[in-house]
Structure 1
Amino acid sequence: MGIPFLHLLLLCLTCLAVASARIPAVIVFGDSTVDTGNNNQISTVLKSNFRPYGRDFAGGRPTGRFCNGRLAPDFISEALGLPPLVPAYLDPEYSIKDFARGVCFASAGTGLDNATSDVLSVIPLWKEVEYFKEYKRRLRRYAGQAQAKHIVLEAVYIVSIGTNDFLENYFLLVTGRYRQFTVGEYEDFLIDRAEEFLRAIYRLGARKISFTSLGAIGCVPLERTTNALAGGGCNEEYNKVAREFNVKLQALIQRLCATLPGLRLRYAPVYDGLLRIIASPSSYGIENVNEGCCATGRFEMGFLCNQWNPLTCPDANKYIFWDAFHPTEKINRIMAEQTLRTSLAEFI
């Protein structure tokens, strides 16, 4: 006999309530894949606080998310019984009362390498950690020492970073890293920076951490466009680098979990998930895997993806990518569901 709908609904609500009680907040570090609006408040050309960004967001308003709607941390927060949006720490519309249930320190364009953040004058990862320290002080004043400690220890931490180090820095030859390191050496350099970061937030109380793998970076529309001489397909050299980095990241995760007491650091396998969609788009209702929805979808992002371009598609749900670099809200939802089933499963 099937479970009556009302009983099933009550069961789902109970599960969400339990998850919310166990996980008091979602705390986010990283780049544009998870930046919910911090770049709005800094002096950089890398912004998305204008239409058509946010076109499918509630009220159709741009928020600084590099997407037509919500990002993966927003969906994860909602699934855990927390607010449906994770607020940006620098957004003046929010207060510590909001941040006590979720906060985002991420900055579009940043990387594990400090030199990457210099390319477009965005927030470096070390500064995100400084904001986290400040947040903890504010949280203690707001909630009291015991509750603040509980929130920090029991929160889920989402980290998504690394793509810009390769696509905006190393492979663009803008900072000289390609002269200092072979690509394998640069991967190792980034892994060392990841370890420094993870140890830093561990010392500050982070325990339940999901670290997102690099995606198939050679398949973003911008890289397909620059790979035109090879037929416009995915840049397999870049994808190979992503796979190599991901292997080293998993080794780092195992090493840190073995040496840092109480650390529950888990790997979120985005690379394989994205390739599954690219390989079988019709299974997901996707019609275009090569271009973004905004403008021509081949090279535009940021200010080149604007409301005056007549070529922007009418239905972003038929696309993997919103602009030439970032996924659509639909893909963010799918990736959030995958993260909940994998790296976050033991926490909920």
Structure 2
Amino acid sequence: MAKFLAPWLFLVQTLVVVAKSRAKVPAVIVFGDSSVDSGNNNFYPTIARSNFAPYGKDFPGGQATGRFCNGRIPPDMISEALGLKPTVPAYLDPMYKISDFAVGVCFASAGTGFDNATSDVAGVIPLWKEVEYYKEYQKKLKAYLGERKAKIILSEALYLISIGTNDFLENYYTFPTRRSQFTVEQFQDFIIGLAENFVKTIYALGARRMSLTGVPPMGCLPLERATNIMEDHACMEEYNNVGLEYNGKLKGLVAKLNRELPGIDVVFADAYNLLLQLIKKPSVYGFEEAQTGCCGTGRFEMSFLCDSHSPFTCQDANKYVFWDAFHPSEKTNQLITDHLLKTSLAKFI
């Protein structure tokens, strides 16, 4: 009996290997804001940069690459988990060539949003310009690999899209223009409409496998808590509730896109509840501090305010949920990435 089973077992094992090889993601392509920017703003005329110490102090080689973190960010970790490179390079970095970008490329820009008015705040790369860079990348990839192979990579790549927080915190709640035009519920719908248009744009260009990331508990970011003086620096629940409502609408958009666009596979990446748990119960996850960031006093500092000479910058960022007043530490990024790899991104591994 064993003699007859052996060929069948071999066939089954072969089919599993073939299935896995077909499911493998050949490249990671990134759109978004500072949560996923690996350094594009270094090469763009804006003050929204982080290519200086103490940023990157825990990055390989201790290099400040332009990532708004002490170390790596989620796209890097996702790329490595997929068996690709341990970092995803910034498209505008002249140090890299199309041969580097063939397995991973980042078009994200810190400070940007779905709304063009958001990118105007700090003079960063608007989302439409990220798409133009993507079109340029497609041409380079086709010239490098040939039309057929490039099209396969572009259609089977995993597109990580992480954007939206700045639309609320740096735009709607900071300047009066959008608030005079929209209630917060209407603004959510406005952003969801822009998100839909964006997905349809890159879908028309060949993108098929996408991850749309929701916003975090925005009211618990150190900067928002620092300014919440009336409530003794507690999380701003109004912002958190808006984030939850927006995420619900984004999840609805993902379902709609999967129904309407043939061949598309979009997932909703939700780290809201996990990050809230890290903030509410940091010690459970090995953290000591969740109200302030590691950099400077951790209450207001980010970008150029995050000064390498500040006597307050912590020694061990692993003890902090946040690196600066707006962005998670590398340890938090790893926990979030691990969660997403086990949930929404599991199907792509």
- Report deviation, 1:296: 0.2
Corresponding residue number in structure 1 for 2:304: 303
State how far apart, in whole Å, the 2-side matches of 1:332 and 1:173 are. Answer: 30
Paired residues of 1:19 and 1:80 also in contact (CA < 8 A):
no
CA root-mean-square deviation: 1.6
Corresponding residue number in structure 2 for 1:186: 187
State how far apart, in whole Å, the 1-side matches of 2:172 and 2:23 are. Answer: 43
Does residue 231 of the first structure (1) align with residue 232 of the second (2)?
yes
Letter matched to residue 84 of structure 2: L
2:78 equivalent among 53, 63, 76? 76
State how far apart, in whole Å, the 2-side matches of 1:113 and 1:131 are. Answer: 18
- Report deviation, 1:344: 1.2
State how far apart, in whole Å, the 2-side matches of 1:342 and 1:150 are. Answer: 25
Paired residues of 2:162 and 2:213 also in contact (CA < 8 A):
yes
Corresponding residue number in structure 1 for 2:31: 29
Corresponding residue number in structure 2 for 1:92: 94
Paired residues of 2:156 and 2:209 also in contact (CA < 8 A):
yes
State how far apart, in whole Å, the 2-side matches of 1:283 and 1:211 are. Answer: 28
1:153 is paired with a residue of what secondary structure? helix
Corresponding residue number in structure 1 for 2:252: 251
- Report deviation, 1:277: 1.3
1:243 is paired with a residue of what secondary structure? helix
Aligned ranges for residues 1-348 of structure 1 at < 5 Å?
18=20, 22-173=24-175, 176-348=177-349
**Distance verdict in 2 for CA 1:19–1:313, change over 3 Å:** farther
State how far apart, in whole Å, the 1-side matches of 2:254 and 2:93 are. Answer: 32
State how far apart, in whole Å, the 1-side matches of 2:131 and 2:174 are. Answer: 27
Letter matched to residue 335 of structure 1: I
- Report deviation, 1:343: 1.6
Q: Percent identity?
A: 59
- Report deviation, 1:279: 2.4
Paired residues of 1:19 and 1:81 also in contact (CA < 8 A):
no
State how far apart, in whole Å, the 1-side matches of 2:233 and 2:264 are. Answer: 42
Corresponding residue number in structure 2 for 1:11: none
State how far apart, in whole Å, the 2-side matches of 1:205 and 1:280 are. Answer: 42
State how far apart, in whole Å, the 2-side matches of 1:170 and 1:194 are. Answer: 16
TM-score in terms of structure 2 length: 0.93
Letter matched to residue 79 of structure 2: S
State how far apart, in whole Å, the 1-side matches of 2:87 and 2:283 are. Answer: 29
Corresponding residue number in structure 1 for 2:7: none
**Distance verdict in 2 for CA 1:59–1:280, change over 3 Å:** same
- Report deviation, 1:280: 2.0
State how far apart, in whole Å, the 1-side matches of 2:274 and 2:210 are. Answer: 19
State how far apart, in whole Å, the 1-side matches of 2:261 and 2:340 are. Answer: 23
TM-score in terms of structure 1 length: 0.94
Deviations 1:212-231 (A, max 9, x none): 11100110000000112111
2:68 is paired with a residue of what secondary structure? coil
State how far apart, in whole Å, the 2-side matches of 1:274 and 1:124 are. Answer: 27
Structure 1, gaps ≥5 residues long: 1-13
Letter matched to residue 86 of structure 1: V
State how far apart, in whole Å, the 2-side matches of 1:285 and 1:134 are. Answer: 44
Which has the larger Rg?
2
- Report deviation, 1:59: 1.1
State how far apart, in whole Å, the 1-side matches of 2:209 and 2:287 are. Answer: 33
- How many residue pairs get matched? 334
Paired residues of 1:20 and 1:81 also in contact (CA < 8 A):
no
